[in-house]
Amino acid sequence: MVGDAPPSPRNTAARRRPVRTGRRPGNPDTRATIIAAAESEFTAKGFDRVSMRGIAKVAGVDPALVHHYFDSKDDVLLATLDVPFDPREVIPAMTREGAEGLGLRIARRFVSIWDDPDNQVRLVAILRASMSSDVAADLLRSGLVRMIITPISDVIDAPDAVLRAQCVGSQLLGLAMARYVLRLEPLASAQPGVVVAQIGPTLQRYIDGHLPRGVDESAQPAE
């Protein structure tokens, strides 16, 4: 009686070959189509009114395909902005210690990110685009509000927390314009520590300092 033939090397190799896990690379053209559709939807309706299914409909693809490339709507928004870092990781790392000292932590991290040459090229491009394109401005606004301003306002214990957080954001945008886009001297070439020391206390004042109420000029009598 003849026993079973030994398995061929080819069959053995096939059985031993490790199974690939993780998300498939997919078609870059499809991903680009989804991003373009998302950009159109975010601009037309605003971030909160857009759904992953709606993005899929505009892109002309199955909703499952959108989830194939992006885990969440936030991921899609970041892809439209093409930001070189994930603010969802950066901001919580700074705010988890609370409001005390937050101004310096924000200033230090902001300058560190923007001073990196690779980051700076992309971030300057985003900022320039937002000044010349309504679409880019809308996308940047959505990203700032959802991923930066809102998390900062959440740790500010004040009735005007959102306004304070927006003042922090406006200060950072002004710094980005002056130091990295317009390159105003001596600010543009100042050492990072000098910039942080100047900006940090101002951010902290917005976070937990006394903010003057100002004067309602509309209520003043006409001369």
Mean pLDDT value across the chain: 84
- Over the stretch 181-200, which tens digit does the pLDDT of each residue have? 999 999 999 999 999 999 99
pLDDT of residue 96: 92
Quick: pLDDT tens for 131-146: 888 888 888 898 899 8
Share of the chain above pLDDT 90, in %: 49
pLDDT in tens, 4-54: 555 544 444 444 444 333 344 456 688 889 988 888 888 778 777 889 999
What structural domains and CATH numbers belong to the chain? 28-81 (1.10.10.60), 87-208 (1.10.357.10)
- The answer to whether the beta carbons of residues 80 and 63 sit under 8 Å apart is no
Q: What is the pLDDT of residues 41-90, one digit of tens each?
A: 887 787 778 899 999 999 999 999 999 998 888 888 878 877 777 888 89
